[in-house]
């Protein structure tokens, strides 16, 4: 029922283009955005320039396109060349996923070195603790959450927003601290029990704004 409602509201059918596992993950991310829309009374303006930070292989590019209808959609991932067991890397997969949306692109680079501007930023499960970083086999030298939030602030145009999802309340509190230290104002905060994908911790959704 949840998926059918999302399909009707956003005119999507992810399983037409990707395997079932990836389609379900897209519906799960779209449901998070839809819940934020309802609970925070948030309707993003269409035609924005949107950046997603920490995009992995950007399997959810279709979700962001369906929800935001952006003029430009850019995914940025530090570990863009990480290899999968099948011999392909994240860039290979991202090339396909971004081909499914208009004006989609992907950059395998450190977001903190990105030079550009955006109207909105999305950030799903960012690394805000060193333990999470190590669990994903990343070097501690790239652990720089304060710089990441500071760079989000510098990239966003006045009035821009950040939609963020964290693993559990503990990580959400840490992320909130970084966001507030860098000048963001919270517009909404909500624990979210995912009905579509099983997660170890309850996700926490938050929406942040850069002052005009």
Is the distance from CB of 82 to CB of 137 less than 8 angstroms? no
> What pLDDT does 143 receive?
61
pLDDT interval class at 15 (50, 70, 90)? very high
Is it the case that residue 180 has pLDDT exceeding 80? yes
> Could you read off the pLDDT of 29-75 as tens digits, one per residue?
999 999 999 999 999 999 999 999 999 999 999 999 999 999 999 99
Q: What is the pTM of this model?
A: 0.93
SS3 26: helix
Provide CB contacts within 8 A for 129, sequence distance 6+: 171, 174
Handedness of CA 174, 175, 179, 185 (dihedral sign): negative
CA–CA separation, 54 and 58 (whole Å): 9
> Taking CA 54 as the corner, what is the angle to CA 98 and CA 135, rounded to the nearest 5 degrees?
130
In percent, the amount of the chain with pLDDT more than 70 equals 93
The confidence score (pLDDT) of residue 140 equals 58
User: pLDDT at position 20, please?
Assistant: 96
**Which residue is associated with the tokens 């966001």?**
179
At 160 the pLDDT is 97
**Cα–Cα distances in angstroms (integers) from residue 70 to residues 81, 171, 197, in the given order:** 26, 29, 26
Average pLDDT over residues 152-174: 96
Residue 23 has pLDDT above 80, yes or no: yes
**Could you read off the pLDDT of 119-159 as tens digits, one per residue?**
999 999 998 876 766 565 666 566 688 899 999 999 999 99
Max distance between CA atoms of the chain, in angstroms, equals: 46
Q: Pick the range with the lowest mean pLDDT from 101-110, 125-134, 202-211.
A: 125-134
| 173-200: average pLDDT | 93
pLDDT at 102: 93
Residue 127's pLDDT is what? 80
- Whether pLDDT at 116 is above 90: yes
Share of the chain above pLDDT 90, in %: 83
Helices marked H in the chain = 2-10, 20-40, 61-68, 90-99, 130-135, 145-155, 168-181
């Amino acid at each position: 029922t949840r998926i059918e409602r999302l399909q009707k509201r956003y005119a999507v059918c992810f399983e037409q283009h990707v395997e079932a596992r990836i389609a379900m993950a897209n519906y799960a991310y779209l449901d998070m955005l839809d819940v934020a829309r309802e609970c925070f009374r948030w309707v993003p303006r269409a035609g924005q320039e949107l950046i997603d930070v920490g995009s992995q292989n950007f399997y959810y590019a279709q979700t962001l396109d369906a929800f935001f209808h952006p003029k430009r959609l850019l995914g940025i991932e530090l570990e863009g060349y990480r290899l999968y067991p099948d011999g392909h890397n994240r860039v290979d997969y991202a090339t396909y996923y971004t081909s499914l949306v208009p004006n989609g692109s992907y950059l395998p680079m450190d977001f903190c070195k990105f030079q550009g501007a955006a109207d909105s930023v999305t950030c799903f499960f960012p690394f805000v603790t060193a333990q999470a970083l190590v669990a994903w086999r990343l070097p501690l030298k790239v652990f720089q959450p304060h710089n990441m939030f500071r760079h989000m602030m510098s990239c966003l145009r006045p009035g821009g927003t950040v939609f963020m999802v964290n693993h559990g309340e503990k990580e959400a509190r840490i992320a909130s601290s970084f966001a507030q230290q860098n000048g963001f104002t919270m517009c909404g905060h909500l624990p979210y029990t995912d009905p579509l994908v099983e997660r170890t911790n309850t996700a926490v959704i938050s929406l942040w704004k850069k002052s005009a």
